Amino acid sequence: MSNRRQIEAQLCFGIYNANKRFNRYYQKVLDKYKLTYPQYICLLTLWEHEVISVKDLGSYIDLDSGTLTPLLRRMDKQGWICKEKSKKDERVVLIKVTEYANKQKSNILSEIDHCFDELNLSDKNYERCLKLVNEVSNKLDKINKSESN
């Protein structure tokens, strides 16, 4: 194995660089729709869940309310989402996608899928990469939580 102290052998550096490159690709696609990456992951979550509370959305995508509130405000102004108070508890704000967002869904997702087509990853390799990245992330989360207690 290469020397783990060299920059090219650092797993964190490899993940960092892959993340930067994904962000560049995604931003190229998302700029056409005037979306940021955090807005895109909000839309992905909403397309999956249809209606979700602001609190649950923040937990699901790991964004705090200080980041999420202005992001949702911009998405609301741009016509991507609408907000409404829960009928069960007026303190709870629910978010759902608009008809406009649903009309754009297939275009956005097909352009994002094009990135993976170009990566030429088999489904098996894609799933393997995702599993490994998630394992590392989950273990780091546990380490960070135990150290903060």
Looking at residue 21, its pLDDT comes to 93
Averaged pLDDT for residues 14-30? 92
pTM of the entire structure? 0.85
Q: Where are the domains of the chain?
A: 7-120
Q: How confident is the model at residue 5 (pLDDT cuts 50, 70, 90)?
A: confident
For 79, phi then psi, to 5°, come to 90, 15
Residue type at position 10: Q
Class of domain 7-120: mainly alpha
Buried b (16+ CB within 10 A) or exposed e, 11-32: eeeeeeeeeeeeeebbeebbee
The answer to whether the beta carbons of residues 85 and 94 sit under 8 Å apart is: yes
Q: What is the pLDDT of residues 98-137, one digit of tens each?
A: 999 999 999 999 999 888 888 898 899 999 999 999 999 9
Of the given ranges (1-10, 15-24, 37-46, 93-102), which has the lowest mean pLDDT?
1-10
